[in-house]
Amino acid sequence: MCGIVGYVGRQSAVDILLEGLTNLEYRGYDSAGIAVNVEGLVELYKAEGKLQNLKDVVAQKRSHIEKSTIGIGHIRWATHGAPTTNNAHPHSCNCGKVAVVHNGIIENYKELREKLEKNGCTFRSQTDTETVAHLVASKYAQVKDLTEAVRLATKELEGAYALCVIHQDVKNTIVATRRNAPLLVGIGEGEYYLASDVPAIIQHTKKAMYINDNEIVTLTPDTMNYIDASKNVLQPKIEMLPWEPVALSKMGYKHFMLKEIHEQPDVVRNVLSGKLRAKDENIVLDEVTLDKETLKNLNRIQIVACGTSLHAAMIGKYIIEDFCGIAVDVEPSSEYIYRKTITDKNTLVIGVSQSGETADTITAVRQAKNNGSHILIVTNRPDSTMAREADSLIPVNAGIEVSVAATKSYMAQVISFYLLAIYMAEAKSGVGVDSLTSSDANWLNELKHELIVLPQKIEEVLAHKEDIQACAKKFSNSKDFIFIARGINFPTALEGALKLKEISYINATGYTAGELKHGPIAMLDESMPVLSVLMQGKVYEKILSNSEEAKARNARMIALTNSSDPKLNDLFEAIIRIPESNELISPILAIVPLQLLAYYIAEFLGKDVDQPRNLAKSVTVE
Ligand code: AGP
C-alpha cells in the first residue's frame, strides 16, 4: 500500500521523485504528491487519481520546481479519508514549513488530533498522517532540531509508520524513521535516496541500507546520521540490492502481468536451481534450520497467508500431508490472529507472502513466535519485515513482481512448497521418524523428475495462448463465472476465480465440484460459464459427473484438462488443453491458462490490468 520516495543531493529532485513514484505506482494509486524546497520555501504539489494527474500539475510549473535538489514524494492507497487532493500526502502544519509523507496507520491519531487542535493546529485533511506533521512542527518549535523533533514525535505515535520529514528551516535535510513499515536509504555519490521499496530507487543506486524499527536517519547530500530511539549512534549496515533495473521494464509486453506470466518457466528454473539438483539427490534448502529434535517432535503445521499466497498454502497443505503425514492447517492470517490458536514449540508455523509486508501475516507469525513455534517464511522478498521474523526461510526467487495480480510469485510459492514437502519427507526419514520405503523413494524421485521437466511444459502451455485468448473472447461478456475442481486442484479453482475477479471485476467464484449441488447449482442457467479443472487422476471421473450435472442445468461448460478424451467435446463448449502430468503436479500447469484467461478477458473489457481498481500490491494495514 502507499509508496514513499525521497531525495537529497545535487541533482534536480523532481524527476527522481516522479520516476520513483512511477515505479511504486503498483503499490497504490488513488492520489499522489511531492514536497520540494524551492529557493528556501517548502512547496507541496498534489493530485487525486492516477500519478499522471500529479505529473500534469508539476508540468505546469516545471521550470520552477526543477530548482529543488531535495524532495519527498508519496503515492497513496487511502485508509483514512477519501482519495482526494486534500488527503493526498505530503501533509503540512499550520505554518507550512513541515512536510511529511507516511506509510502505515497512526492508530491514536484521533486523540493526537484533539490535543493538537486544542493547541491551535488547524487540520486540512481527514488523514491520520496530518497529525504527524503538526506534532513534528510543535516539537521542532520547542527543540529547534529536526531529528530530535521527529524522535520526540514518534514517541507519541501508536501504530505503524514509515515517515520522511522535511522542514523549511533545516536546509537540505530529510529525516526518516519507521516502525512496522519498510523504509530504506539508497546511497549515491553526494546524494541519498529514500524509498519504501526498492523499485523507487534501483535506477539510481544498488547500494542501500534498510532502516530498522525505531531507528532514525538524518540525511544531507554528504552526511548520514543514524541513531536509535535512545539517540545511540548506529553503524550503517550497507548492502548491495539484488535487483536489476530491467526488472521494471515491460520488455515489449503490453502489461506487466502478461510479461510476468511468460516469465514463469524461468521462475521455475530459478526456484529449483541449487535446491533440486537431480532426481536421485536430496532436496537442499540452505536456510531451513529445522533441527533433528524439532523434526522429530513436530506434531502439526499451521500455514498463514492471504489472497493468492493463501491458495499456494492450500496446495502446500495437500502435499505436505500427502508426502509427510503431518497434519497441516491453513488459515487466512486475518482470521488466525483473532482467535485462540493452539500452537507450541512442536508446531511449525509457515508464513507465506510475496511481499513479506502483509500486515495480517506479519502479526500472525509474530503471535506464533511468541508461543515458541519455529517460524518458516516463504517469501519473494528475503529483505522484508516478515523474513526478519524467520527461523527458517525459503526465498522463492520469482524476481520483482510489478503487476498487482500475483502470477509468477504464486508459481514460485507453489514450487517452493513441493520442494519443502519433499525436503521434509526426506529429512524425517533421515532422523528416523518415518523411513522411506524404496517405493516411496522412487515415487519422490519421479516427482522430482516431473518438477525438473516442468519449465518446458509451461512453455508448451504458453505457446498455445491464442487458444486461450479465443476462449476469453467468447466468454468476456459474462457477468459471473464459476470455477470447479476437487482435491489438489481446488486451490487452482480459487486462484483462477481470484485472478478473474481482481482484474476484470467479473463475479467469479471457485467451488469444490462436490459442493456444487449443495447450493451453488441454483445459480446455473444458460448465461453462466462453469470452468471445470479436469485433471487425470483419482477425482477425474467425479468432476466429470459434476460437470454433467452443471451441463444438465444449461450452464456454458469450459474444460481445463490434460485429457485427450474425445468424449469431452460433447460436454464442453470450450476446451483448454494442457500437457499431461502426474495429478499431484497438475496444479502448477493448470494455473497458467487460468492466469491467461483472466488476463485476456480483462484486456478485452479494456480494464486497467496492472493496476485494478481498489487494490494495492502489498497490504500493509490490518
Ligand atoms: C494477488 O493477486 C493479490 N493481489 C493479493 O491477494 C495478494 O496475494 C495478497 O494481498 C497477499 O499478499 P502477499 O503475498 O504479499 O502477502
Pocket lining: 401 vs ligand 1, CB cutoff 6 Å? no
Read off the C-alpha cell for 407.
502470477
pLDDT of residue 436: 63
Read off the C-alpha cell for 514.
462436490
Of 290, 228, 319, 194, nearest to 588 by C-alpha is 319
pLDDT of residue 1: 66
Gap from CA of 589 to ligand 1 centroid (Å): 20
pLDDT of residue 260: 96
Pocket lining: 260 vs ligand 1, CB cutoff 6 Å? no
Backbone angles phi, psi at 397, to 5 degrees: 60, 40
Read off the C-alpha cell for 276.
533440486
pLDDT of residue 431: 56
pLDDT of residue 432: 57
Gap from CA of 2 to ligand 1 centroid (Å): 15
What's CA 210's distance to the chain center, in Å? 19
CB 104 within 8 A of CB 181: yes
pLDDT of residue 77: 82
Of 611, 247, 559, 284, nearest to 430 by C-alpha is 284
What's CA 122's distance to the chain center, in Å? 37
Nearest atom in ligand 1 to 618's CA:
15
Of 88, 90, 134, 86, nearest to 109 by C-alpha is 134
- Three state DSSP letters for 286-304: CCCCCCHHHHHHCCEEEEE
Pocket lining: 387 vs ligand 1, CB cutoff 6 Å? no
Can you tell me the distance from the alpha carbon of 159 to that of 535, in angstroms, rounded to the nearest whole number?
A: 47
pLDDT of residue 251: 84
Nearest atom in ligand 1 to 308's CA:
8
pLDDT of residue 2: 86
Return the SS3 of 91: strand
Q: Which of 317, 448, 551, 617 is catalytic?
A: 617
Annotation says 292 is catalytic: no
pLDDT of residue 564: 93
Nearest atom in ligand 1 to 617's CA:
4
Pocket lining: 309 vs ligand 1, CB cutoff 6 Å? yes
Return the SS3 of 221: coil
Mutate to test the pocket of ligand 1, among 619, 621, 622 (most ligand atoms within 8 A of CB): 619
pLDDT of residue 437: 65
Gap from CA of 499 to ligand 1 centroid (Å): 11
Task: Outline where 378-407 has alpha helix (H).
Answer: none
Read off the C-alpha cell for 291.
533441527
Pocket lining: 334 vs ligand 1, CB cutoff 6 Å? no
Tally the residues of the chain. 622
Q: What is the pTM of this model?
A: 0.84
Pocket lining: 308 vs ligand 1, CB cutoff 6 Å? yes
Of 569, 559, 549, 556, nearest to 593 by C-alpha is 559
pLDDT of residue 249: 80
pLDDT of residue 181: 87
pLDDT of residue 291: 82
Annotation says 617 is catalytic: yes
Low-confidence ranges of the chain (pLDDT < 50): none
Can you tell me the distance from the alpha carbon of 385 to that of 358, in angstroms, rounded to the nearest whole number?
A: 9
Can you tell me the distance from the alpha carbon of 446 to that of 584, in angstroms, rounded to the nearest whole number?
A: 11
Gap from CA of 371 to ligand 1 centroid (Å): 26
Gap from CA of 307 to ligand 1 centroid (Å): 5
